[in-house]
Amino acid sequence: MTAVRVPGIPVIEDGRLVSTSPATGAEAGRLPVASAEDVARAVERAREAGEWWVALGSGARRERLLRWRALLAQRIEEIAELVHAEGGKPVADAVVEVVSAVEHVDWAARNARRVLGPRQVRSRLVLAEFSAHLEYQPYGVVGVIGPWNYPVFTPIGSAAYALAAGNAVVLKPSEYTPAVGQWLVDTFAEVVPEQPVFTAVHGLGDVGAALCRSGVDKVAFTGSSATARKVMAACAESLTPVLLEAGGKDAMIVDADADLDAAAEACVWGAMTNAGQTCIGIERVYAVEPVFDAFVGKVVERAGRLTVGPDDADIGPITMPSQLDVIRRHIDDALSRGGRAVLGGADAVQAPYVRPTVLVDVPEDSAAVREETFGPTLTINRVRDADEAVDRANALSYGLGGSVFGRRRAVAIARRLRSGMASVNSALTFAGMSTLPFGGVGDSGFGRIHGEDGLREFSRAKAITRRRARSLLPSTTFERTPADVARLVKAIKVMYGR
């Protein structure tokens, strides 16, 4: 039986998941749907493969990952075209996404041994007769549940670091972009053909739930806050640890001494890239009174030049058709409650596209300010000063990223944002910085990918001590004497009693 197809909405036909372009409806991928038993078997195969992978040693893993990096770089046009065909993302945006992913594979491969390898740790005086060292051991099998909005960059942000740490990975790509996920797995198999170290399982949400309950040793999830709670609940049944990168409602603050041209350029990019379908996208702006009008004018001028369409346009279609209703509701709610559209507005939603929309004077308790919109829309509100801007930016339960434009106080303001990340005089740049951790607080989740923290996130810390001499202050033994205890008390008073 053949299901009725709506462009962009995945369907299951004859046991296969079919993904289509949200712009044209053309089929982009057809992958077998996994049952719960299939998922469990994939994890067991990955466990065996993981034992082989970790036994290769860090040097061999590094070499394989660097070969994968080279393959990704060589085929950048191929995967960018597939991202465009399946999710509608403009090819240029897809290229930027892949470039960032390649950088992360390179960094993870080159730095895993330095970050995770055994190291001596200094002993303290009371236990001076023992040496100590610390090492990081892989979990085993990591389940990665990826999103559709960045189907290359985001899964690789978990998978590459987990692989570099010595784990096997089972990826459940979004049902909206399964072909991209399978492409990543297939290219990895070209450089690691011996064992299924990196594999994929496909399907709808029930497949993701099955992965959570499959016996994996850790789950890394990227998606909405609502789904993150479901993932965490499923993993709690078996005390499987989780890393959650959930939604965001990132704010930009524009101070009085900001470079307004640079701020407007970064704002439009941060809000409108990937049609606004970015968890760290700029969705709210707070501009101080003296520069508000000039800043709004510059944003409108730049955003008004953006083109919308299926191919070489700046802004492509909304990938998930149901999101169109959310975007429309946010715009309508803002306008009905006194907000003004200085660009776009009520007729901006023309499925499958949304034209750039800039809203001002929007009430802080409106949906457009408080809920994740995930479209090329932006609210810009006037504030007295940077203090008020910080208070408004921090008022929501989300806490992923943020941006500050200014000179004298910008870094200090950025530190006050309740967020896992912040950019000063730029937007979104922390995501591409492979040396920095990526993650949020509050409803935006917890745990970190990228950087040294990202490598450690996919490893268990293992502490080991070894006796190297006789105890001068024996304490952890029933053979201690009253004199030993007296000497111990005296030593502690001398060392710490002042």
Which stretch of DSSP H or E encloses residue 82?
Answer: helix 76-87
**Cα torsion 211, 213, 215, 217: sign:** positive
Give strand pairing partners of 285: 252, 380
Please check whether residue 245 is in contact with residue 222, taking contact to mean a CB–CB distance below 8 angstroms: yes
Bridge partner residues of 429 (DSSP): none
Q: Which residues contact 207 (CB under 8 A, 6 or more apart)?
A: 33, 34, 39, 172, 201
Q: Are 145 and 208 in contact (CB under 8 A)?
A: yes
> Max CA-CA distance within the chain?
86
Q: Which one from 97, 103, 245, 372 is the annotated catalytic residue?
A: 245
In angstroms, what CA-CA distances link 28 with 19, 156, 179, 190? 6, 21, 7, 22
Contact 450, 157 (CB under 8 A): yes
CA separation for the pair 272, 484 (Å, rounded): 70
Q: How far apart are the first and last CA of the chain?
A: 81
Q: Which one, of 174, 442, 495, 35, lies nearest residue 487 by Cα?
A: 495
Q: Which residues pair with 16 in a beta bridge?
A: 13, 32
Q: Is 289 assigned a catalytic role?
A: no
Residues in the chain: 498
Give me 25's structure tokens.
Answer: 């409806």
Element of type H or E holding 52: helix 36-56
* Beta-ladder partners of 170: 143, 199
Selection from 312, 373, 319 nearest residue 6 by Cα: 319
The answer to whether 130 and 183 have CB atoms below 8 angstroms apart is no
- Is 63 part of the annotated catalytic residue set? no
Number of helices and strands in the chain (H, E): 17, 21
Token pair for 18: 């079919």
- Contact yes or no for 214/39 (Cβ under 8 A): yes
Q: Which of 212, 235, 267, 279 is catalytic?
A: 279
10 phi and psi angles, rounded to 5 deg:
-70, 145
What is the C-alpha to C-alpha distance for residues 342 and 332, in angstroms, rounded to an integer? Answer: 14
- The residues annotated with a catalytic role in the active site are 245, 279
